[in-house]
Amino acid sequence: MPRYALKLEYDGAPFAGWQRQSGLPTVQGALEVALAALEADVPSVAAAGRTDAGVHATGQVAQCDMARDWDPYRLSEAINWHLKPAPVAVVACAQVPDDWHARFSAIERRYTYRLICRRAPLVHQRGQAWHLRHDLDLGAMRQAAAHLLGRHDFTTFRAAMCQAKSPVKSLDEITIEQRAIPNGQVIEIHLRARSFLHNQVRSITGSLERVGAGAWHPDQMAVALRACDRAACGPVAPPDGLFLTGVGYPKDIFAA
């Protein structure tokens, strides 16, 4: 059966996450329904990362095995037709070797968390960012974030339900950018690692917000990290502002 890689974007707001769940709308479920309209008995699809309820994606990667030898462009067009009206789209498609796997072949994941600081309620960005009514100190947040770079035990920033075998992960990049908007600011936190623990990005973001708001000293991030204790974590940021923005592989499968 030919295997295809699908680059997906989706609005996570109406979904109970990526993973199929009985009786609940999920991204995986929507994609599999669309594929079933093209071929009977399409095997279950797999993704590079199982995003939680309300989490968005601009660069999720999934795989599907088809009985027919599809032209990648025609396959993406057909899937998109049957995905309507779900807020999910295939933005790129490529045929890949049979031993390629969306999850296990990946060598990095990239996430962005978006915060919008302004007094007025969000309108166009509602559900797409964490809305804060106070400004944040970017310098302090960057100082705090520097403590997290490298290989550490991230137990403090790991959900209690996390199923990862080890809390030790390497955080390869964490950068914080800001741009001004009328009467406010947009802050984006970009993180890159081979893999992440459950709720790691949202837990880190919630703690960074405490630093930016002046409730934590930047060095408190190092203290929290060394504690290896979930109780030392700041409040977990809501899913609204989190985006899976990219998945890296040894070879760019969508380059052509």
What amino acid positions are annotated as catalytic residues?
52
Measured CA to CA in angstroms, residue 43 lies from 46, 85, 107 at distances of 9, 23, 24
Of 138, 149, 157, which Cα lies nearest the Cα of 211? Answer: 138
CA-wise closest residue to 83 among 166, 11, 159 = 11
Half-sphere exposure for 80 (CA within 13 Å, toward CB): 16
> Using an 8 Å Cβ cutoff, are 64 and 28 in contact?
no
Closest of 220, 254, 247, 243 to residue 109, by C-alpha: 247
CA distances from 10 to 30, 58, 83, 189 (A): 11, 7, 11, 19
| Cα–Cα distance for residue pair 19/39, rounded to 1 Å | 21
Nearest to 186 by CA among 254, 125, 99: 125
Q: Is the four-CA dihedral 98, 102, 103, 107 of positive or negative sign? A: positive
Helix axes 72-83, 27-36, angle to 10 degrees: 110
Per-residue tokens: 117? 């600081």
DSSP 125: T
